[in-house]
């Protein structure tokens, strides 16, 4: 029989006082003062937000810090929209009309759009957003479309596809001026890998591979990638938000070919992915999600066809310390 540590990746602790904080969600401990087993539970849910001005999909990632500070742009139309927690406002389009573009940024006034397709060619384009206008960023070093996370001055881009049926395990970091090659991810996978965190402390999970769709996940510590515990639900065109020790994986579709949209939501505690208590009301992949914490974020747009204009807002808070009964 498997032990608690083997299943969840961490052992039961002996503590004289109770734990608190997102990093300890799901942890079981024995309180030596009260002589009881306890755990820390989380309450999380998705709720309806303001509708996009134009339904859209076909992109990966978004930018912004929270539900009151969001930014997305899609394949068709290319116009950017900014979210204030109530409604979306149309902003200036980037210069390049690429599809399947990848976004990252920790603010709606400081974001990056990179790579993408102008069919059938993968582009090596970087564009930066300052809140009012787009400017050319550092030249992207290779032709592949992957996942990304981080801020304008601390971003990382990884995996992806270089051509139909061909995947890569490359990664590269961005400092707001130029891209620098980073160590390879342990596994190659394409078609919209996703993740969350900063450019120097990231979590990534594979998109569709060749020929399978993996559940593998990885952590980047600023120097190297290492395999972490897998996700529960394999996805392509998924999304995520939060930090390396407290993140959320959401949405996506499976399997390759004719993808079935998912409402899957999983939380990550720095060690393991767990099925979240709140699931998306509207299953979809290829939308945009962003948030710098696991407690306050948004997910907007997506598909497959017809693309959607809905927005869902995610809220999470520590609910309570629960005593575990053993009889």
Three-state SS letters, 41-58: EEEEEEEECCCCCCCCCC
pLDDT of residue 83: 93
Residues 144-189 pLDDT 10s: 888 999 999 999 999 988 887 788 999 999 999 999 999 999 988 8
Q: What is the pTM (predicted TM-score) of this model?
A: 0.84
Whether the pLDDT of residue 48 is over 60: the answer is: yes
- Say which residue, 276 or 49, is predicted with more confidence: 49
Overall average pLDDT of the 69-89 stretch: 84
> What's the pLDDT band for 236 if we cut at 50, 70, 90?
confident
Q: Answer left, alpha or beta for residue 150, where phi above 0 means left and psi between -120 and 50 means alpha.
A: left
Q: Which helix (H) or strand (E) holds 4?
A: helix 4-8
Whether the pLDDT of residue 322 is over 80: the answer is: no
pLDDT of residue 225: 97
Residue 318, CA distances (Å) to 22, 28, 46 in order: 7, 15, 15
Residues 93-142 pLDDT 10s: 888 777 777 889 999 999 998 888 777 888 888 999 999 999 999 989 88
pLDDT of residue 164: 76
pLDDT of residue 247: 93
Which pair of tokens denotes residue 39?
Answer: 């755990």
Overall average pLDDT of the 18-31 stretch: 80
Angle at 203 between CA 259 and CA 5, to 5 degrees: 100
Which pair of tokens denotes residue 273?
Answer: 């992915």
pLDDT of residue 182: 96
pLDDT of residue 308: 86
> What domains does the chain contain, in order, with CATH numbers?
4-43+320-324 (no CATH), 46-317 (2.120.10.80)
pLDDT of residue 255: 65
Q: Answer left, alpha or beta for residue 250, where phi above 0 means left and psi between -120 and 50 means alpha.
A: beta
> What's the pLDDT band for 43 if we cut at 50, 70, 90?
confident
Overall average pLDDT of the 195-208 stretch: 92
Whether the pLDDT of residue 15 is over 60: the answer is: yes
Q: How far apart are CA 262 and CA 246, in angstroms?
A: 22
Overall average pLDDT of the 229-254 stretch: 90
Residues 243-291 pLDDT 10s: 999 999 998 887 666 667 888 899 998 999 988 767 898 888 888 888 8
């Amino acid at each position: 029989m498997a032990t608690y540590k083997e299943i969840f990746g961490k052992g039961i602790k002996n503590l004289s006082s109770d734990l608190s904080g997102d990093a300890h969600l799901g942890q079981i401990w024995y309180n030596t003062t009260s002589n009881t087993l306890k755990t820390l539970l989380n309450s999380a849910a998705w709720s309806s937000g303001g509708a996009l001005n134009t339904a859209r999909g076909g992109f990966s990632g978004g930018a912004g810090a929270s539900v009151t500070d969001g930014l997305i742009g899609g394949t068709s139309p290319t116009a950017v929209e900014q979210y204030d927690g109530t409604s979306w406002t149309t902003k200036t389009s980037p210069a390049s009309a690429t599809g399947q573009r990848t976004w990252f940024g920790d603010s709606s006034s400081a974001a990056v759009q990179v790579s993408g397709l102008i069919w059938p060619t993968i582009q090596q384009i970087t564009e930066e957003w300052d809140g009012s206008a787009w400017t050319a960023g550092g030249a992207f070093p290779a032709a592949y479309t992957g996942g990304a996370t981080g801020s304008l001055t601390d971003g990382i881009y990884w995996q992806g596809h270089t051509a139909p049926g061909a995947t890569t395990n490359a990664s590269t970091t961005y400092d707001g001026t130029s891209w620098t090659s980073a160590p390879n991810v342990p596994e190659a996978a394409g078609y919209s890998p996703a993740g969350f965190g900063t450019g120097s402390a990231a979590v990534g999970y594979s998109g569709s591979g060749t020929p399978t769709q993996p559940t593998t996940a990885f952590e980047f510590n600023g120097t190297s990638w290492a395999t972490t515990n897998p996700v529960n639900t394999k996805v392509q065109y998924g999304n995520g938000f939060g930090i390396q020790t407290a993140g959320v994986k959401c949405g996506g579709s499976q399997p390759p070919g004719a993808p079935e949209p998912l409402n899957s939501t999983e939380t990550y505690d720095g060690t393991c992915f767990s099925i979240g208590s709140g699931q998306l009301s509207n299953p979809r992949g290829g939308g945009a999600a962003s948030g710098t914490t696991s407690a306050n974020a948004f997910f907007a747009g997506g598909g497959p066809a017809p693309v959607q204009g809905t927005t869902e807002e995610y809220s999470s808070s520590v609910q309570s310390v629960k005593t575990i009964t053993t009889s």
